[in-house]
Amino acid sequence: MNLRSGARLTSTADGAWRGDFGRALHAEWTKLRTAGDMGSLLLLAVVLTVAVGCGTAKAVKCPDAGCGQDAVKLALTGVTVGQAVIAVLAAAAVSGEYSTGMIRTTLTAVPSRLTVLTAKATVLTTVVLASGTAAVLASLLAGRHILPGNGFTEAHGYPPLSLTDGPTLRAAVGSVLYLALIALLGLGVATAVRETATAIGIVLGLLYLFPVVTQVVNDPQWQHHLQKISPMTAGLAVQATVHLHELPVGPWAGLGVLTAWAAAALLASSLLLHRRDA
């Protein structure tokens, strides 16, 4: 085979892959958009995130200068609750196809299983990034209006929350990325186990049980290690804007830990998807 023929074959293969991916992307978007509970779950994630953030901002007081609170993290507290809904959304987006048998139709239309998984991840990430951005911006806006009434004023060392402030912008962007990574983690786990309740249980266990286990362990060194590998504890370090030296892991490094969890789940799911029957 000469170089020109090889180039034509490569170009044809690339074109075929792009065509398959385009069809898969359109199909996944249609399935997600027309599923009755998907829109409700996204709306619930936004509402819970903002509501919990508002409640926390109203509850915490800063009576004097140097009260030690992280105003940005307080405003974004709702992410710790909204992520549960995102995990449920991600699990339902894939395991529901297995329960109805629609996955066979999907894989018949697009035989490449990696293409199908990539399309699912792309669509899911896009909608979660959009809803996560809305939730985070609304939470910060609410915090900007609520927190000064509880003592978080410039006189106490707390300027109004603003995205022009570098740490605040990093916390906002990081929180949106955090939610997207939770969605990918949920997608990977659900694809691997193929059962909605089991997938939700595994993801929520990873998120919420890790901190509980950390508190039960008495050895400070082991506590530190567990905090550094906990998907939620490490991932949410990106929200911190004060006392960064006290964190078990740096803000972006912590988000990298969650990225590793999501990547491992997706890798395992892609391998199982190739080896198992639909």
pLDDT(140) > 90: yes
> Cα(16)–Cα(94) distance, rounded to whole angstroms?
24
Lowest mean pLDDT among 9-18, 77-86, 174-183, 221-230: 9-18
Are residues 143 and 161 in contact, defined by beta-carbon separation less than 8 angstroms? Answer: yes
User: Is a pLDDT exceeding 60 seen at residue 3?
Assistant: no
pLDDT of residue 17: 54
Which residues are CB-neighbours of 1 under 8 A, at least 6 positions away?
9
Domain ranges of the chain: 16-275
Residue 217: CB atoms within 10 A of its CB come to: 13
Which element (helix H / strand E) includes 6?
helix 3-34
Percentage of residues of the chain with pLDDT beyond 70: 91
Mean pLDDT value of segment 6-13: 46
Interior/surface letters 218-241, b for 16+ CB within 10 angstroms, e for the rest: eeeeebeebbbebbbbbbbbbbbb
Tell me the torsion sign for CA atoms 25, 197, 269, 107. Answer: negative
Residue 60 near residue 150, CB atoms below 8 Å: yes
Please report the pLDDT score of residue 9 as a whole number.
41
Higher pLDDT, 75 or 215: 75
Q: First vs last Cα of the chain: how many Å apart?
A: 37
pLDDT at position 11 over 80: no
Question: pTM to 2 decimals?
Answer: 0.90
Model pLDDT, residue 6: 46
List the one residue out of 250, 21, 3, 233 whose CA is nearest residue 122: 21
Per-residue pLDDT, 20 = 74
Nearest to 234 by CA among 163, 166, 185: 185
Q: What is the pLDDT of residues 77-135, one digit of tens each?
A: 999 999 999 999 999 888 777 767 677 777 777 777 888 888 999 999 999 999 999 99
What is the mean predicted confidence (pLDDT) over 29-45? Answer: 83
Mean pLDDT of the chain: 88
